[in-house]
Amino acid sequence: MKRILLWFRNDLRLHDNPALRAACAQADEVIAYYCFDSQYFGDKKSAFPRIGARRTQFILESLQDLKESLAFLNIPLQISIGTPKDGIQALHQNFPIDAVFYSEEFAYEEIRQTEALKSLTIPLRSFVSNQLFELAELPFPLYKLPRGFTTFRKKLEAAISPAAAFPPPPAPQSISPVHSTPLPSLIALGLRPDAIDERAALKPRGGEKEGLKRLKAYLFGSQNISQYKETRNGMIGPDYSSKFSFWLANGSLSPRKIYQEIKSYEVQFGANESTYWLYFELLWREFFRLNAAKKGANFFQMPLAYHSSVDAQFEKWRQGKTGHPFIDANMRELALTGFMSNRGRQNVASYLINNLKGDWRLGAAWFESALIDYDVYSNYGNWTYLAGNGNDPRGQRSFNIDSQQERYDPKGDYVNLWLNF
Ligand SMILES: Cc1cc2nc3c(=O)[nH]c(=O)nc-3n(C[C@H](O)[C@H](O)[C@H](O)COP(=O)(O)OP(=O)(O)OC[C@H]3O[C@@H](n4cnc5c(N)ncnc54)[C@H](O)[C@@H]3O)c2cc1C
């Protein structure tokens, strides 16, 4: 009798989940496990938490959905607060585990989580999920990943396309004697509920089913994908861009599934520059992930006391009180909803770095706290890119905020929405 523990991380889905598929195929019994790592929760000393209430709420909704879906496969979901190592060890003591399967992550803290598991003497097996390509599929070894995005994209596009996403696996043979644990409350995680403002571009609900619903709606429902390239720099409402980032961030949606649906949309309704451009943007996401995979623990490490250098100027930026309407409108949208458009993110980051001469790491830390769609690779990748420490061959990027405002909010609708209501 073989019992596999499946440690869920940012892969909260049944579809296109290689670790789940392998566990169901190889084990008689599967136990699913998720850990709210206490290094991210309960810090009362900092100006803002590592993970804010809205993202935590979104994760809780995603876990509820996952738990319900796993029940159809007779797989219980165990949840703990603490460290993954302690949680897995405690389970192992009561229900001896033959192996731990999990999806690989490439950033510093995530690498430390998996390193810690090695002392448990349980066989570990990792899988690459949450990206368009397996590392072995790439047309170059990882250490030769091109430094610039354009070279990366061209090499990739000349050689490969993403494999098809696979459906949820059949249930393992045996029903586990382990019961699912109830989800913790926000309060138990040291957070107070924080509603999403009514003006939000979208009020997302967490979970695989909701992610798949949004995918269907943006493609086959509204067919907004056919105008994506023209609308993607918009700033108001649900449909100027896909909003897939919410579900991609914790893996409720797989990028290969998105690619597959884009392809079937193109067969039905025709391909154009816009349908391609959504894939192009997913390649940006892939690029930042692979950069982290290449650099390992050197990708980025936040200094330990990273909140301690918060000063009055940074606080004005964070709270949307700089006096620049375009910056303040975007920062208030972020603080009140947990989302900001890509156009907004570029501008507020440039403003902090170039106009205020602030510490970009603090800006990135605030994004990490406030964004529902926070993703370690895309967030720190984009911030380092704009700060000139990353992969932009042109060095530091500076935006002229006034002309950006004129171009992207010519009638002032966006600024009015966030500053004058
Ligand atoms: C300073 C800064 C910080 C950012 N932090 C994050 C983050 O924490 N999490 C996150 O998912 N994205 C981040 N982005 C990238 C981008 O802003 C968001 O992915 C996008 O706004 C999400 O909205 P959408 O899903 O509607 O995007 P769409 O325009 O519909 O794009 C589709 C998908 O492509 C990917 N994508 C698009 N633009 C980028 C990009 N510049 N970099 C990487 N992937 C991209 C995302 O997965 C996105 O969901 C950041 C950008 C900047 C400039």
The protein residue with its alpha carbon nearest to ligand 1, atom 19, reads: 245
pLDDT of 340 over the 80 cut: yes
pLDDT of 102 over the 70 cut: yes
The protein residue with its alpha carbon nearest to ligand 1, atom 24, reads: 243
pLDDT of 303 over the 60 cut: no
* Type of residue found at 146: P
d(CA 348, CA 333): 12
Is 277 close to ligand 1, i.e. is its CB under 6 Å away?
A: no
Is 375 close to ligand 1, i.e. is its CB under 6 Å away?
A: yes
CB 108 within 8 A of CB 300: yes
Instruction: Point out the ligand 1 atom lying closest to the alpha carbon of residue 383.
Output: 1
What domains sit in the chain, N to C, each tagged with a CATH number?
1-128 (3.40.50.620), 130-164+208-296 (1.25.40.80), 312-419 (1.10.579.10)
Ligand 1 centroid – CA 3 distance (Å): 38
**Residue 124 token pair:** 């570990």
Instruction: Point out the ligand 1 atom lying closest to the alpha carbon of residue 363.
Output: 1
- Residue 46 banded pLDDT, cuts 50, 70, 90: confident
Ligand 1 centroid – CA 45 distance (Å): 30
pLDDT of 412 over the 80 cut: yes
According to DSSP H, which parts of 160-226 are helical?
Answer: 208-216
Ligand 1 centroid – CA 397 distance (Å): 17
pLDDT of 182 over the 90 cut: yes
pLDDT of residue 305: 53
pLDDT of residue 301: 61
DSSP 3-state assignment of 79? strand
* Residue-averaged pLDDT of the chain: 94
- Residue 227 banded pLDDT, cuts 50, 70, 90: very high
Is 288 close to ligand 1, i.e. is its CB under 6 Å away?
A: yes
Q: What percent of the chain stands above pLDDT 90?
A: 88
User: Which is it for the CA torsion 234, 235, 237, 238, positive or negative?
Assistant: positive
Ligand 1 centroid – CA 227 distance (Å): 18
Ligand 1 centroid – CA 374 distance (Å): 9
**Residue 187 token pair:** 């309060």
pLDDT of residue 307: 57
Using a 10 angstrom Cβ sphere, with 0-12 exposed, 13-18 middle and 19 or more buried, the burial of residue 312 is exposed
- Of residues 306 and 142, which shows the higher confidence score? 142
Is 240 close to ligand 1, i.e. is its CB under 6 Å away?
A: no
**pLDDT tens for residues 49-88?**
999 999 999 999 999 999 999 999 999 999 999 999 999 9
d(CA 67, CA 59): 12
Ligand 1 centroid – CA 66 distance (Å): 24
pLDDT of residue 44: 75
pLDDT of 159 over the 70 cut: yes
CB 116 within 8 A of CB 85: yes
Ligand 1 centroid – CA 74 distance (Å): 35
How far from 303 is each of 228, 240, 353, CA to CA, in Å? Answer: 38, 36, 18
pLDDT of residue 43: 78
Is 61 close to ligand 1, i.e. is its CB under 6 Å away?
A: no
- Residue 397 banded pLDDT, cuts 50, 70, 90: confident
The protein residue with its alpha carbon nearest to ligand 1, atom 48, reads: 245
Mean pLDDT calculated for residue range 386-402: 78
Ligand 1 centroid – CA 245 distance (Å): 6
The protein residue with its alpha carbon nearest to ligand 1, atom 37, reads: 281
Ligand 1 centroid – CA 362 distance (Å): 19
Is 334 close to ligand 1, i.e. is its CB under 6 Å away?
A: no
Among residues 344, 315, 320, 342, which one has the least CA distance to residue 331? 320
pLDDT of residue 309: 62
- Residue 89 banded pLDDT, cuts 50, 70, 90: very high
Is 378 close to ligand 1, i.e. is its CB under 6 Å away?
A: yes
For the residues of 52-66, what is the DSSP string, one character each? -HHHHHHHHHHHHHH
Mean pLDDT calculated for residue range 269-298: 95
- Of residues 282 and 108, which shows the higher confidence score? 282
Is 337 close to ligand 1, i.e. is its CB under 6 Å away?
A: no
Ligand 1 centroid – CA 174 distance (Å): 41
Mean pLDDT calculated for residue range 396-407: 91
pLDDT of 168 over the 90 cut: yes
Give the CA diameter of the chain.
67
pLDDT of residue 388: 81
**pLDDT tens for residues 2-24?**
999 999 999 999 999 999 999 99
Ligand 1 centroid – CA 87 distance (Å): 32
pLDDT of residue 322: 97
- Of residues 175 and 328, which shows the higher confidence score? 328
Range in 107-111, 121-125, 343-347, 372-376 the model is least confident about: 107-111
pLDDT of residue 298: 74
Which one of 376, 382, 389 would you pick to mutate in the ligand 1 pocket, going by the greatest count of ligand atoms within 8 A of its CB? Answer: 382
pLDDT of 391 over the 70 cut: no
- Residue 150 banded pLDDT, cuts 50, 70, 90: very high
- Residue 47 banded pLDDT, cuts 50, 70, 90: confident
pLDDT of residue 306: 56
Instruction: Point out the ligand 1 atom lying closest to the alpha carbon of residue 282.
Output: 34
Is 373 close to ligand 1, i.e. is its CB under 6 Å away?
A: yes
